[in-house]
Amino acid sequence: MSDKTFGFETLSVHAGAAPDPATGARALPIYQTTAYVFEDADHAAALFNLQTVGFIYSRLTNPTNAALEARLATLEGGRGCTVASSGHAAQVLALFPLMQPGAEIVASSRLYGGSLQQMKNTYPKFGWKAEIVDADVPENFKRAVTENTKAFFIESLANPGGVVSDIEAIARIAEASGVPLLVDNTLATPYLCKPIDYGATLIVHSTTKFLSGTGTSMGGAVVDSGKFDWSRGGKFPSLAGPEPAYHGLNFYETFGDMAYTFHSHAVGLRDLGPSQAPFNAWLTMLGIETLGLRMERHCANAAKVALHLEKHPAVAWVNYAGLPSNKYNKLAQKYLPKGAGSVFTFGVKGGYDVGVKVVDGVELFSHLANIGDAKSLIIHPASTTHRQLSDEQRVAAGAGPDVLRLSIGIETVEDIIADLDQALAKATA
């Protein structure tokens, strides 16, 4: 299929998968195998030397995973993709070709709490340093750049606060600094936002969330735009220098705009091993078929719920970029014209104690640590996902003591609102 002649919904159903040539099966097969038979010794040698494309071992490549990779690359407008076992695994995999001991990354303070934990406490164990800045002021990235900076990292639509990043402005600074811009597009999905169109180099996803849509399948993905010159300035020797494991092969010279994706499979998945299970890839492929339909309902419901909560007497504030009163509404109109997503936060009057009572009082909502499910979900970040952070870090990340995060599902919206009303009434009685 040509990705230039079909709409998003058509590509969501067809990209990366065709009838099985061996059996005629219309559904994508699950290739539940660890390894693949070689045609002969020469074929095996060519595969291991990266002289021909094919399947060797499912830690590196798998036909079911390859179908998902093709679909995600198509939907994001990228050149290639590598799927991983989780969103966090995808973040490590994304940075792995870029970083080395002493290297630095400039990251937004408005990130998922687990991502900030990675940046602050785990990456230093690799010798990587993360400089955390307020992304509301793009110039903060420019001020944080040093000669050791290798990447910028932001979320298009931040979790949990629903903050919209000015992707284009930050991308310009990244380009001038000679580093790639990595954008976590999990909350927006390519249906709502395509960061590559605004200058992003690499897209990271937790496919566990909206892409899968059912809360059944762990996974992550890294999509490469194919537009970055990895030889620029000699900053990325893993991609544009001799690779000792492949007899000095230079990935950028050999594979051009597919260098990053080939490296992620041949080195990243080989050495780090965060491979996605084929069954999870298969379930995610099914989920993506209805992505456009689901995101329409998610966004429509979220907009109604946010408007209702904005007027609720027990609610101090609502941070949803789709509201005209929100400080990020103008950016949302630019980057998220189809809707501002379905994950947002609001503050309850009474702070921490009332917030805990609300999550204990819901009936339709599920209190759990996930987002992007067809079901409506709720959590109190300060006592759960962001509890490892200091009070100051939680507030900076939009997860203060009064904050509740909602992931609005696709149920009847009146039922969603009624459940929140009754929980708020009990919590503030």
Is residue 3 very low, low, confident or very high in pLDDT (cuts 50, 70, 90)? very low
Mean pLDDT of the chain: 95
Domain with CATH 3.90.1150.10 in the chain: 292-428
Is residue 159 very low, low, confident or very high in pLDDT (cuts 50, 70, 90)? confident
Give the integer Cα–Cα distance in Å for 296 and 336. Answer: 12
Give the integer Cα–Cα distance in Å for 355 and 401. Answer: 8
Helices and strands in the chain: count of H runs, count of E runs:
18, 14
Q: Which residue has the tokens 């406490």?
A: 121
Of the CATH numbers 3.40.50.2300, 3.30.450.40, 3.90.1150.10, 1.10.3720.10, which one belongs to the domain with range 292-428?
A: 3.90.1150.10
Predicted TM-score (pTM) of this structure = 0.95
Domain with CATH 3.40.640.10 in the chain: 8-287
- Burial category of 349 from C-beta neighbours within 10 Å (exposed 0-12, middle 13-18, buried 19 and up): middle
> Which of 23, 157, 3 shows the shortest CA–CA distance to 71?
3
Per-residue pLDDT of 55-64, as tens digits, reads 999 999 999 9
**CATH fold of 8-287:** Aspartate Aminotransferase; domain 2 (3.40.640)
Per-residue pLDDT of 332-375, as tens digits, reads 999 999 999 999 999 999 998 999 999 999 999 999 999 999 99
